[in-house]
Amino acid sequence: MKPDKPHRPPWLRLLGLALIAHLLFCVQRLGTKSLPARIDEIQEFRENGAIRFHLSKSPENAAVLQMIAENTPEECVVLFKGEGRGSMELAVGLLSPRLLYAESGAAPDVSMIHGLPVARAKLPNLGEGTLVLVGVDRETLRLELRR
């Protein structure tokens, strides 16, 4: 006597095909897409640094933040004003651990806030003064000096 053949309803067979397709697609995707893309991304990050990597589509903003990062100590306060969304959000993360402090809340001659020095720098054509990072709009950052 023949043993009973395994019986599966048609919908279960379709589900089985879908499962096999899912596994094959996902497994090949790791090797062919995700791993190479990740390696490229990491290489780009290492070559350009965090600021230029995150602001690769906006080199002007990258130059502004790079200038602050290179000319101020990590433990300091940077004044800011203007549009707080968009590029300014990234600036907060990229300039960390520097604190961004609302310019409107800082006294005119302030030099220390929360025990940290307020960032000062000398800018070409502008002279020396307290740095103010300005969010012109969601896409544009600019530096001003407060004397």
Q: Which of 55, 65, 68, 99 binds another protein (CB under 8 A)?
A: 99
Distance between alpha carbon 71 and the CA centroid of its chain, in Å?
20
DSSP for residue 104: G
Q: Is 57 in the site for another protein (CB under 8 A)?
A: no
DSSP 8-state code for residue 102: E
- The conformation of residue 118, written as its DSSP 8-state character, comes to B
The interface mask with another protein, positions 17-56, x = CB under 8 A, is -xx-xxx-xxx-xxx-xxx-xx--xx--xx---x--xx--
Q: How many residues does the chain have?
A: 147
Distance of CA 43 to the CA centre of its chain: 16
Q: What is the DSSP letter of 136?
A: -
Q: Which position among 1, 2, 7, 47 is part of the footprint of another protein (CB under 8 A)? A: 7
Nearer to another protein, 45 or 122 (CB): 45
Cβ 91 vs Cβ 141: under 8 Å: yes
| Contact positions vs another protein (CB under 8 A) | 4-9, 11-12, 14-16, 18-19, 21-23, 25-27, 29-31, 33-35, 37-38, 41-42, 45-46, 50, 53-54, 80, 84, 88-90, 92-94, 96-97, 99-102, 105-106, 113-114
